[in-house]
Amino acid sequence: MKSYSSISGTSGGEWLPSNAGSYRPNIGEVAAPSPAPAPTPTVAAPRGRRGLFAGIISSALVAGAGGALAGGVTTALTLQGRLPTLAIFSTQPQLTGTPTVSTVAGAPLVSTTTLGVSLDLPTLYRQVAPAVVAIQTSSRGGSGGQGSGFMADERGHVITNNHVVQGATRLTVHLLDGTSVPATVVKTDPANDLAVLRADIPAAKRAAVRLGDSDAVQPGETAIAVGSPFGFEHSITSGIVSAVDRAFGGSRRTGPIPGLIQTDTAINPGNSGGPLFNASGAVIGINSMGASPVNGSVGVGFAIPVNAAKRLLAQLPG
């Protein structure tokens, strides 16, 4: 009989670390997962800088924009009596050079059917993609990273993850049509890994998303992510909501982030800060991290509930 799979996370230090291993894309080459170790009664939380594979069921998060790794993340996974090696990654890769801004125009996308209801993904993509942005960061010393975000209103405010922009000295936002504009951080909520940027987006190119109600999200609903996985800007993936109200990540000072939406939609490094949509095109979450035996998606991703972002936006001056 299969045992129930449970995931719990604790931090050995400040969560959302920076430069916890450099991401260097190598298309066509996928790292093989580590073999599953024998069951272990207890696992000590790691300390100090770690790679993406940091021993039994322990790993550091992938890099933010600047600063230093202050601790590791220990995650326990029980599945059929085994304890596999599990990497926990935030979804922002490190850049090793100047990214190429990619756009999508007229590429055919495949529609899917969810529970017998036709989902027109090409139409949904055309509606929401102009509001999604790629975010390039740089910091003192020349290091940089890339994440995702989305336009939250008509004033040029962009929502993303705090770990995408933390420590950055320069931010650049890339739009779907290839336009690049500078941005600055105007508000942060580290406890919920959220940040609001003000970007100099031309008025004619501001296309705000529609914000949904994350309290109404239920397991089994359609979930669609648009972002920049591994630097491939404005990519779309789809799946379902796997669970709601997960508590995961966080820091010793703030504790785990509550109310997370779990999804099997492919969430990879570079998706950080990008939107998770429902079938009607409303944002229900902000993609933030994932759990995987490799530095990529195996169908266990987590999104910050959009209602937390709505509360943060409400704090901005009118």
Q: Tell me, what's the pLDDT at 233?
A: 97
Q: What are all long-range contacts of 181-187, with beta carbons under 8 Å and residues at least 24 apart?
A: 183/135, 183/158, 186/157, 186/316, 187/312, 187/315, 187/316
State the Cα torsion 254-256-257-258 to the nearest 10°. Answer: -120
Mean pLDDT of 180-199: 96
Least confident of 48-62, 151-165, 179-193, 223-237: 48-62
* Residue 295 pLDDT class (50, 70, 90 cuts): confident
CA atoms of 95 and 147, how far apart (whole Å): 10
Q: Tell me, what's the pLDDT at 73?
A: 31
The mean of the pLDDT values for the chain is 73
Q: Are 12 and 73 in contact (CB under 8 A)?
A: yes
What pLDDT digit, counting tens, does each position of 70-96 carry? 222 323 232 233 334 455 566 565 544
What pLDDT digit, counting tens, does each position of 2-37 carry? 222 223 332 222 223 222 223 333 333 333 344 444
Say whether pLDDT at 239 is over 70: yes
Q: Tell me, what's the pLDDT at 296?
A: 85
The CATH class of 90-318 is: mainly beta
Say whether pLDDT at 228 is over 60: yes
Q: Tell me, what's the pLDDT at 172?
A: 97
Q: Are 99 and 23 in contact (CB under 8 A)?
A: no
Q: Quickly count: other Cβ atoms within 10 Å of residue 66's Cβ.
A: 20
Catalytic residue list contains 251: no
Sign for the pseudo-dihedral over CA of 62, 169, 181, 209: positive
Q: Tell me, what's the pLDDT at 151?
A: 98
CA atoms of 300 and 291, how far apart (whole Å): 6
Which DSSP helix (H) or strand (E) runs through 304? Answer: strand 301-305
In 123-144, which positions are buried (b, 16+ CB within 10 angstroms) versus exposed (e)? ebbebbbbbbbbbbbbbeeebb
Mean pLDDT of 173-198: 97
Say whether pLDDT at 181 is over 90: yes
What pLDDT digit, counting tens, does each position of 243-289 carry? 999 988 766 676 788 999 999 999 999 999 999 999 999 999 999 99
Sign for the pseudo-dihedral over CA of 64, 161, 209, 278: positive
Token code pair at residue 225: 């992510």
Give the pTM.
Answer: 0.70
Catalytic, out of 148, 193, 288, 292? 193
What pLDDT digit, counting tens, does each position of 198-213 carry? 999 999 999 999 999 9
Say whether pLDDT at 59 is over 50: no
Q: How far is CA 262 from the centre of its chain?
A: 12
Catalytic, out of 59, 242, 272, 297? 272
Catalytic residue list contains 193: yes
Residue type, 263: T
Q: Quickly count: other Cβ atoms within 10 Å of residue 210's Cβ.
A: 13
CA atoms of 301 and 264, how far apart (whole Å): 6
Catalytic residue list contains 272: yes
Q: Give 175 or 140, the one with higher predicted confidence.
A: 175
Say whether pLDDT at 191 is over 50: yes
Say whether pLDDT at 308 is over 50: yes
Where along the chain do its domains lie?
A: 90-318
Catalytic, out of 157, 163, 174, 234? 163
CA atoms of 43 and 57, how far apart (whole Å): 8
Q: Quickly count: other Cβ atoms within 10 Å of residue 300's Cβ.
A: 20
